[in-house]
Chain A
C-alpha cells in the first residue's frame, strides 16, 4: 500500500500534558505541548535529557494516555490506540525476542494481527529487504547472532512490516558508532524518500535532525513543550552532501540558539574550569 502525501495533518497534538505519579509526588513529563505533523512530513524532536521526548512518542503511539489535552491521528483525528496498525514504533533498543529468528521477529506484528504464516513471512522478507537485509541467511539468524546495527535494522523492518502510515523513531541509532549511524541515516532518508510516511524522529543529534527532518521541534526541559518549531528548507537527498552547505549552517545556528535557550537552566551552577565554585 502506497501512502501518498495527503493534505492536512497526520498527527495533531493539542495541549498535551502527561503526568506520572512517583513516590515523591506527581511528575509532569509534558505540559501543554502543541503541534501538528503533516502527512508525509518528517519531524525531528530534539531537546535536553528527560524533557519528555520519549514520553511524547509513547503518547502518540497510544501506549500512554494523556493526563490532559488530546492527540489525533489521520484525517479524522481519532485518538491513537496501541497496536491499531496506524503506527510503527522503533525504540532506542532493538527489543527483539531472543528465542525467535530475525524473520519471525519482523513478522511478529503480523502474527499478532492474525495474518497467515506464509503471508507474514513473505511480508517480513520484503521488510528485511527494505532495510538492506535481503540475504536469506539473515532471516534465519537469532538476534544474538547479529551485530548491534543489524539488530536495529531488524527492529526497523519490524516497524515497517505492517506498512503503517506513521513511523515513530525513538533515537533508533543512538547506540551505534558514528560511522554506522551516518550510514543508517543515509539509508533512512532513502527509505523515506521512496515511501513518504509521516515520521517523528527523536534524536539528540543536531546534525542528524538537520540531515533528515523537514521541521525540527526544540523541546524545553521537563515539563516538555515545543519551544521552537524550525523549518529545514534544504534540498534532498541531504545526508550525502550537506557538509559546508551555507543553508545548513544557518539552520544549525538557529537550532543551536534555540537549544541553548532551553538548555541554559540545566547548565547553571557548573563551575568554569580553573575557578572555584562560588556559593
Chain B
C-alpha cells in the first residue's frame, strides 16, 4: 500500500507540473481555445461532458474493448510464447508470420479485420488483442528461454515432467521479463482500441475524438477524450505494476 501511495504521489506531482507548463504555454502563446485550450477550460468541459452523460458511454466502450482485448491478447501471447520457447520447429514455422503481422501497421489492417469480424465488439477486441500480442509473446519466449539451465537440471533430477518444468520453474523465472512485455502490451491496448474505433465504430473515445474534431471543432472535448485515454493507459499500467509487485516478491 505504501508503494502505491508513493507512486500515486509521484504521478500527482508530475501531473501538476505538466498542467503548470501547459498553462504557461497557453498564456505566453495567447492561443485561441480551438487551437490549445487552457487546462481549466478542459477541466470545465470534462465536468460538463460527465454531467450531461456524453463522456461515460464512450469511456465505457473503450474500457471494455481494451480490457477484453488485452486479456485475450495476453493469454494467447503467453501460450504462443511458451510454444515458441519450447519448440524450435514452432519458432521456425511461426516466427516469419508473427514478424510479418507485426510489420503491417495495425491502422492498415484494422478495416479488413472490421469487415471479417462483423464490425462489432468482437472486431475491436481482435484488433486490440492483435496489437498487444507481439510484445507479450516475445517477452514470454525470451523469459522462458533465459531460465537458468542449472535450475532446469535440478528440477529434472527431482523428477519434473515437462509440464511441471513450465509451470513450477520456467514461468515463475520468466515473470520479470514477461511483465516487461505486459507493461508494453497494456499501453498498446488503448492504442488498439482507438484504432479499432476509427476503423468502424459508433461509440468509444476514438469516436468521440472524431466527433469533437470534424463535427463540432470542440477542441476542449477532444482534450477530454485524450486525457481519458491517458488515464485509462495509466490505470492499466498501474494495475500491471501491482500484479508484478504481488507475483514477483522483492
* Contact of A89 with B by CB under 8 A: yes
Q: Of B39-47, B87-95, B123-131, B148-156, which stretch is located at the interface? A: B148-156
Query: Is A112 touching B154 in the complex (CB atoms < 8 A)?
Result: no
* Residue from B157, B164, B248 within 8 A of A99 (CB atoms): B248
The distance in angstroms between the C-alpha atoms of A61 and B156, with both chains bound, is 10
Closest chain-B Cβ to A30's Cβ sits at a distance in Å of: 18
Question: What DSSP secondary structure best describes chain B's contact surface?
Answer: helix
Q: Pick from A80-88, A190-198, A226-234, A267-275 the stretch touching chain B.
A: A80-88
Give CA–CA (A112, B167) in the complex, Å.
11
Interface size bracket, B side: 10 to 19
Beta-carbon contact of B158 and A108 below 8 Å: yes
Collect the chain A residues with CB atoms within 8 Å of residue B155's CB: 108, 112
Tell me if B159 and A84 are in contact (CB < 8 A). yes
B150 with A63: CB separation less than 8 A: no
> Taking the complex as formed, is B215 at the interface, i.e. its CB lies under 8 A from any CB of chain A?
no
Residue in chain A with minimal CB distance to B151:
A95
Say yes or no: is A55 at the interface (Cβ < 8 Å to chain B).
no
Give chain B residues whose Cβ lies under 8 Å from the Cβ of A61.
Answer: 157
Bound-state Cα–Cα, A61 to B158, Å? 10
Query: Smallest CB–CB gap between B140 and chain A, Å?
Result: 17
Chain A nearest CB, measured from B24 CB (Å): 47
**Of all chain A residues, which has the CB nearest B169?**
A97
| Complex interface bits, B39-73 against A, C-beta within 8 A gives 1, otherwise 0 | 00000000000000000000000000000000000
Interface residue range, chain A:
20 to 34
Instruction: Find residues 148-185 in chain B having any chain A CB closer than 8 Å to their own CB.
Output: 150-151, 153-161, 164, 168-169, 172-173, 175
* B151 and A97 contacting across the interface, CB-CB below 8 Å: yes
CB 8 Å contact bits of A92-119 with B (1 = contact, 0 = none): 0101010100000000110111000000
Instruction: Report chain A residues within 8 Å CB of B30.
Output: none
Q: B32 interface residue, CB < 8 Å from A?
A: no
**Residue B249 at the chain A interface, CB threshold 8 Å:** yes
- How far apart are the CA atoms of A93 and B151 in the complex, in Å? 10
Partner of B160, one of A83, A84, A91, A99: A83
The verdict on A63 contacting B160 (CB below 8 Å), with A95-B150, A99-B172 known, is no
Residue numbers of A with Cβ under 8 A of B are 61, 63, 82-85, 87, 89, 91, 93, 95, 97, 99, 108-109, 111-113, 142, 158
The list of the 9 closest CB pairs from A to B, nearest first, reads A83-B159, A95-B154, A109-B158, A89-B157, A112-B159, A82-B156, A99-B172, A112-B160, A95-B150
**Chain B residues in the interface with A (C-beta under 8 A):** 150-151, 153-161, 164, 168-169, 172-173, 175, 248-249
Residue contacts A-B, CB under 8 angstroms, 11 given? A63-B153, A82-B156, A85-B159, A87-B157, A89-B157, A95-B150, A95-B153, A95-B154, A99-B172, A112-B159, A113-B159
| Other 7 A-B pairs with CB < 8 A, given A95-B151, A99-B175, A111-B168 | A82-B156, A82-B157, A84-B159, A95-B153, A112-B155, A112-B159, A112-B160
